[in-house]
Amino acid sequence: MSEPVCYTPIGFVENEFNEWTPVETLRATPMRIVLDPRWAPGTLGLEPGDWILVLFHFHHISEVKLQLHPQDDPTVPLRGVFATRTQYRPNPIGATVARVERIEEGHILHVRELDALNGTPVLDIKPFVESFDRPKEAEEP
């Protein structure tokens, strides 16, 4: 095995949800990502309307499920963890594309479409660039 990898959060999610909440509810609710103010210069170039990839730590998760029914729906075929977006992962890292609504004081990002609970540690933010993040379609022969 390799050595453990440790990260320090760059900020935290703020919203009204402290317990499990359906993804649809979370994504429909405006919330904030409050960065440590020392990272404020890193938001240069982010604008309202931009889509960002938010990487975060599932801080309420303590179990791993290597196989599961997606969304705990037993009518959906069993899948391996790496074929799902479940939070029950060997490394509880979440990734969601969210939309920037506005930026306050350079370090508070008001966002929509984020599916994280209140207090969720944010590990990184990257711009979502469709031409980079979406695989090129296979060319027709």
DSSP string, 16-31: S--S---HHHHHHS-E
- Token digits for 68? 């599961």
Q: Is residue 73 part of a domain?
A: yes
Contact 31, 52 (CB under 8 A): no
Q: Is residue 27 part of a domain?
A: yes
**What pLDDT is recorded for position 133?**
78
Q: Is residue 60 part of a domain?
A: yes
**What pLDDT is recorded for position 139?**
47
CATH number at residue 50: 2.40.30.70
**Domains in the chain, number:** 1
Q: Is residue 131 part of a domain?
A: no
Which pTM does this prediction carry? 0.89
Q: Is residue 28 part of a domain?
A: yes
Q: Which amino acid is at 114?
A: L
Domain range holding 35? 11-107
Q: Is residue 127 part of a domain?
A: no
Q: Which amino acid is at 6?
A: C
pLDDT tens for residues 45-95? 999 999 999 999 999 988 999 999 988 899 999 999 999 989 999 999 999
pLDDT tens for residues 99-122? 999 999 999 999 999 999 999 999
The candidate with the shortest Cα–Cα distance to 109, out of 39, 16, 18, is 39
Contact 110, 14 (CB under 8 A): no
pLDDT tens for residues 4-40? 999 999 999 999 999 989 999 999 999 999 999 999 9
Q: Is residue 140 part of a domain?
A: no
Q: Is residue 99 part of a domain?
A: yes
3-state secondary structure of 115: coil
The candidate with the shortest Cα–Cα distance to 51, out of 101, 122, 108, is 101
